[in-house]
C-alpha cells in the first residue's frame, strides 16, 4: 500500500527506483547502434507504381503505333512505306539526347561532372553497348517497314523465350517443364495472331506473313536481350554516375553507328535528310526520345514482373488504337481480339509462374533436408 507509506519512505523508494533505472537508461548512447545497418528505404507507393505502370504501358503502345501511322501509302500498289529516311528520326533522337543530357550534366554538376563523362573506362564500356543498341534501332525500323504496330509488339514477346535460352547458356538457369509449356504457348499464340489476320502495315494484302519483318524483329529481340544483360551488369558497376551521364556515354557510339548506317541505306542523304518529314514524323522523333529516357529511368523503378506485364498489355492498347484512330483502317474483329488476349494471358501466366516455381523449389529443398 504505497499510498499509506510515510512521505520519506515513498521518496526513498522512488529515489531507489530512479537510481536503479538511470544507469540502464544511460547505456544507450550514439555508440550503441553504431554497427546497425540503416533500414532499407521504402519503395515507391502503390499509387506511384500504378501511375508509372500506366505511363510505361502507354509509351510502349504509342511508340510502334506512331511509327506505323507515319507511313505513306503507295497509290499504285496500295502498300505502306516510309516516305522519309528511317534513319533520320533515329539519328535525330541521338543528337537531341546528347544535347539535353550534356546540358543536364553542366547544369547539375558543372564543368567537373561534364568532364567526368569522358572518363575512358566507363566510356569504352557504354560505347560498346551503345553500338549494339544502335543495331537494335536499325532492325526496329527495318521490321516496322513491313509490320503493323500490334504485330511488332506481339512478336516482341518472343524475348521471353530468347531470354530463357540466354540465361540457360550463360548462367545455367533452367526452366521447369511448366515454364517450357507456357513458353511454347506464348510462341504458338504469336503464330496464331500472325496467321489469323492480314498485316495492316503494307504487306501484299493477301494475308501472307512478311518473313523479313518477322526475322528482323527476332534479331531485334536478340540484340535487346543481349543489351539488357550488359546494361544490368555495367550500370550497377557505375551506379555512382547519374543516368544522364550514362546516356551521353551510350549515345556517342550510338550516334556514330546510326550515322554510318545512314550513308549506306541509299535514302537518308541521297534524297535529302528532311525529305518526307511532316508532323507525324516529328512525333516519331519525340517518341524515340521519350522511350529512350523513360526506359532508363522507369526500368530502375518498376520490378521485372510489372515490366513484362506492361509490355504484354501494350499489345491490347495498340490494337484498340488501330481500331479507333482514323489513321488506320482496322476494324474490330473478335478472332483477332481473342488472339491478342491469348498472347497477353500466356505472357502473364509465364511471368507469374516464376514465383510459384521458386517457392516449389524452396519447399522441395527444405523437405529433402528434413
Q: What value does the mean pLDDT of the chain take?
A: 83
Say whether pLDDT at 1 is over 90: no
**More confident: 164 or 199:** 164
Q: Which residues lie below 8 Å from residue 127, measured CB to CB, with a gap of 6+?
A: 249, 250, 252, 253
> Nearest-5° angle of CA 248, CA 254, CA 258?
140
| pLDDT at residue 203 in the model | 43
Say whether pLDDT at 189 is over 60: yes
**How many Cβ atoms sit within 10 Å of the Cβ of residue 320?**
15
* Average pLDDT of the segment spanning 132-139: 93
Question: What is the grid cell recorded at 247?
Answer: 546516356
Looking at the chain, the whole-number percentage of residues with pLDDT higher than 90 is: 47
Beta bridge partners of 81: 72
pLDDT, one tens digit per residue, over 233-269 is: 777 788 888 989 999 999 999 999 999 999 988 888 9
| pLDDT at residue 39 in the model | 55
Q: What is the pTM of this model?
A: 0.79
Query: How much helix, strand and coil, in percent to the nearest 5, is found in the chain?
Result: 75, 0, 25
- Own/partner pairs, 330-333, CB within 8 angstroms, 24+ separation: 330/200, 333/197
Where would I find the beta strands (DSSP E) of the chain? Answer: 72-73, 80-81
Crossing angle of helices 304-324/149-156, nearest 10°?
A: 160
| pLDDT at residue 298 in the model | 78
Amino acid at each position: 500500500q504505497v499510498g499509506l507509506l510515510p512521505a520519506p519512505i515513498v521518496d526513498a523508494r522512488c529515489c531507489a527506483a530512479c537510481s536503479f533505472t538511470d544507469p540502464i537508461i544511460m547505456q544507450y548512447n550514439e555508440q550503441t547502434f553504431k554497427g546497425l545497418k540503416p533500414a532499407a528505404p521504402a519503395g515507391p507507393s502503390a499509387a506511384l507504381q500504378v501511375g508509372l505502370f500506366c505511363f510505361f504501358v502507354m509509351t510502349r503502345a504509342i511508340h510502334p503505333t506512331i511509327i506505323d501511322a507515319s507511313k505513306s501509302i503507295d497509290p499504285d500498289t496500295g502498300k505502306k512505306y516510309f516516305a522519309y529516311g528511317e534513319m533520320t528520326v533515329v539519328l535525330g533522337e541521338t543528337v537531341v539526347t546528347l544535347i539535353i543530357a550534356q546540358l543536364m550534366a553542366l547544369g547539375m554538376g558543372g564543368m567537373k561532372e561534364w568532364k567526368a563523362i569522358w572518363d575512358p573506362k566507363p566510356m569504352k564500356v557504354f560505347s560498346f553497348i551503345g553500338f549494339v543498341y544502335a543495331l537494335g534501332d536499325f532492325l526496329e525500323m527495318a521490321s516496322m517497314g513491313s509490320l503493323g504496330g500490334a504485330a511488332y509488339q506481339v512478336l516482341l514477346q518472343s524475348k521471353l523465350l530468347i531470354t530463357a535460352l540466354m540465361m540457360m547458356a550463360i548462367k545455367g538457369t533452367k526452366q521447369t517443364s511448366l515454364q517450357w509449356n507456357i513458353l511454347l504457348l506464348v510462341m504458338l499464340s504469336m503464330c496464331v495472331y500472325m496467321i489469323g489476320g492480314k498485316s495492316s502495315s503494307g504487306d501484299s494484302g493477301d494475308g501472307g506473313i512478311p518473313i523479313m519483318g518477322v526475322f528482323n524483329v527476332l534479331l531485334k529481340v536478340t540484340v535487346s536481350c543481349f543489351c539488357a544483360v550488359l546494361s544490368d551488369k555495367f550500370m550497377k558497376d557505375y551506379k555512382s554516375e547519374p543516368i544522364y551521364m550514362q546516356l551521353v556515354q551510350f549515345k556517342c557510339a550510338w550516334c556514330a553507328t546510326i550515322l554510318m548506317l545512314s550513308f549506306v541505306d541509299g535514302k537518308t542523304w541521297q534524297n535529302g535528310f528532311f525529305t518526307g518529314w511532316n508532323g507525324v514524323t516529328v512525333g516519331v522523333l519525340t517518341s524515340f526520345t521519350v522511350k529512350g529516357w523513360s526506359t532508363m529511368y522507369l526500368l530502375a523503378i518498376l520490378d521485372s514482373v510489372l515490366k513484362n506485364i506492361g509490355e504484354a498489355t501494350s499489345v491490347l492498347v495498340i490494337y484498340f488504337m488501330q481500331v479507333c484512330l482514323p489513321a488506320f483502317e482496322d476494324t474490330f474483329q473478335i478472332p483477332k481480339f481473342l488472339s491478342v488476349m491469348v498472347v497477353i494471358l500466356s505472357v502473364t501466366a509465364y511471368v507469374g509462374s516464376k514465383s510459384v516455381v521458386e517457392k516449389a523449389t524452396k519447399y522441395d529443398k527444405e523437405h529433402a533436408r528434413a
